[in-house]
C-alpha cells in the first residue's frame, strides 16, 4: 500500500504538466500583449508629448507674434495720430497760403506799377532795358505755368537792379532823344543817380541829362577830358581817381 502513494503523486504531477504548460504559454502571451500594449502606449505617449511640445512652441511663437502685433498696433496708432495732426496743420497752412496768395498777387501788381511810375519819374538810365524788363514782368503775371513765388522773385530782382543803378558807376550804349526830335546812338555813363552823361560814338559831342528840364543838354568842350576820364574809369582802363562831372540832380535832390 505504501508503494502506491508515490506512484499516485507522480501520476498526478504528470497529469498537471500539460495544464501548467498551457497556463505558462497563456501568461507569456498575456505578457507579450502587455508589453506590446505598453510599447504602443509609450509610442502614443511619446507622440502626444512631441505634439504637446510642438503645440507649446507654436503657442509661445503666437504669443510673441501677438506681442509684436500689439507694439505695431500702438506704433500705427501713434502714426495715425501724428498724421491727423499733420493733416490739420497742412489744412491750416493751405488756408494761410490761399489768404497769402489773395494778398500777394495784388501786391505784385502794385510793385510792377511802382517800377513803371519810378521809371517815368527817374533819370533814363538804361531806359530800354528797364522798359523791356517791366513789359516782361507784366507778361509774366497772368501765366499759369509760372508759380507766384517765381513771379515775386523776379519782381524783387527788378527792384534790386533799380537799387543798384543808384550806387554804381557803369556804361552802356543806347540811343538818346535830343531836344530837336533827333536821336543819336551814344555811349552813356551813369554815376549812381548823381550824374548821367552821354557822348556820341566818335567822342566829338557830349550831353548831360537835366532832371529839371527832363532832357539832354549839350556840354561845352571844356568837360571833354573829365568825361573821357570817367568813361575810362568805368571801363576799368585806369586806376580809381577823383571825377569832376556835371550832376543830373534837381534842386530838391541836392538838398
pLDDT in tens, 181-195: 788 999 999 999 999
Q: β-strands 215-218, 206-210: how paired?
A: antiparallel
pLDDT, position 5: 54
Answer whether residue 77 is part of any domain.
no
- Is residue 144 in a domain? yes
Which has more confidence, 110 or 8? 110
Cα 38 to Cα 46, 56, 88, distances in angstroms: 12, 26, 73
Residues 249, 197 share a domain: yes
- At residue 217 the predicted structure's pLDDT band, cuts being 50, 70 and 90, is very high
| Distances, alpha carbon 46 to alpha carbons 25, 31, 132, 160, in Å | 31, 22, 97, 91
Give the C-alpha distances (Å, rounded to integers) separating 119 from 9, 109, 159, 163, 173: 155, 15, 11, 12, 18
Same domain, 255 and 174: yes
Q: What angle do CA 194, 165, 149 make, to 5 degrees?
A: 150
Looking at the predicted structure, is the pLDDT value of residue 200 above 60? yes
Residues 173 and 220 reside in one and the same domain: yes
Mean pLDDT of 152-167: 94
Shared domain check, 193 and 158: no
Q: Closest Cα partner for 197 from 206, 237, 254, 184?
A: 206
Q: Which pLDDT score, from 0 to 100, does residue 62 have?
A: 82
- 173 with 228, same domain: the answer is yes
| H or E stretch at 118 | helix 4-121
Q: How many domains does the chain have?
A: 2
Please check whether residues 136 and 177 belong to one and the same domain.
Answer: no
Domain span including residue 122: 94-165
Chain-centroid distance, C-alpha 180: 58
Q: Say if residue 130's pLDDT is above 70.
A: yes
Res 12: pLDDT: 55
Whether 20 maps to a domain, the answer reads no
Residue 179 has pLDDT above 80, yes or no: no
The arithmetic mean of pLDDT across residues 236-253, rounded, is 83
> Could you give the strand order of the β-sheet that contains 183-191, starting from the edge strand earlier in sequence?
169-177, 183-191, 195-200, 206-210, 215-218
Lowest mean pLDDT among 40-49, 196-205, 240-249: 40-49
- Among residues 165, 185, 204, the one where a domain terminates is 165
H/E element, 80: helix 4-121
Non-local (6+) Cβ contacts of 201 within 8 A are 173, 185, 186, 187
Residue 205 in 3-state DSSP?
Answer: coil
Residue 21 has pLDDT above 70, yes or no: no
**242 and 175 co-located in one domain:** yes
Look at residue 232 and tell me whether its pLDDT is greater than 60. yes
What is the Cα gyration radius of the chain? Answer: 56
**In this model, does residue 2 exceed pLDDT 60?**
no
pLDDT digits (tens, 9 = 90+) for 110-125: 999 999 999 999 999 9
Pairing of β 169-177 and β 206-210: unpaired
Residue 146 has pLDDT above 90, yes or no: yes
The set of cell numbers assigned to 187 is: 555811349
pLDDT at 49: 79
Instruction: Give pTM, 2 decimals.
Output: 0.60
pLDDT confidence tier of residue 169, bands split at 50, 70 and 90: very high
- Domain boundary pick from 165, 183, 214: 165
- pLDDT beyond 80 at 13: no
End of a domain among 165, 185, 212?
Answer: 165
Amino acid at each position: 500500500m505504501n508503494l502506491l502513494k508515490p506512484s499516485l503523486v507522480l501520476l498526478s504531477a504528470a497529469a498537471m504538466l500539460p495544464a501548467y504548460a498551457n497556463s505558462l504559454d497563456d501568461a507569456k502571451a498575456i505578457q507579450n500583449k502587455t508589453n506590446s500594449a505598453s510599447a504602443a502606449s509609450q509610442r502614443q505617449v511619446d507622440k502626444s508629448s512631441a505634439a504637446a511640445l510642438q503645440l507649446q512652441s507654436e503657442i509661445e511663437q503666437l504669443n510673441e507674434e501677438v506681442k509684436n502685433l500689439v507694439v505695431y498696433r500702438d506704433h500705427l496708432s501713434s502714426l495715425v495720430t501724428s498724421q491727423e495732426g499733420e493733416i490739420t496743420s497742412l489744412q491750416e497752412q493751405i488756408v494761410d497760403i490761399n489768404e497769402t496768395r489773395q494778398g500777394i498777387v495784388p501786391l505784385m501788381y502794385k510793385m510792377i506799377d511802382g517800377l513803371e511810375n519810378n521809371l517815368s519819374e527817374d533819370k533814363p538810365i538804361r531806359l530800354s532795358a528797364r522798359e523791356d524788363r517791366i513789359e516782361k514782368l507784366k507778361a509774366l503775371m497772368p501765366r499759369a505755368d509760372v508759380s507766384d513765388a517765381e513771379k515775386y522773385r523776379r519782381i524783387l530782382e527788378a527792384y534790386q537792379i533799380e537799387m543798384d543803378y543808384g550806387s554804381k558807376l557803369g556804361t552802356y550804349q543806347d540811343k538818346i532823344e535830343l531836344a530837336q526830335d533827333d536821336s543819336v546812338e551814344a555811349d552813356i555813363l551813369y554815376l549812381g543817380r548823381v550824374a548821367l552823361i552821354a557822348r556820341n560814338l566818335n567822342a566829338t559831342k557830349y550831353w548831360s541829362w537835366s532832371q529839371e528840364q527832363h532832357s539832354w543838354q549839350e556840354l561845352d568842350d571844356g568837360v571833354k577830358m573829365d568825361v573821357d576820364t570817367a568813361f575810362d574809369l568805368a571801363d576799368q582802363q585806369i586806376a580809381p581817381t577823383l571825377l569832376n562831372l556835371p550832376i543830373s540832380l534837381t534842386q530838391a535832390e541836392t538838398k
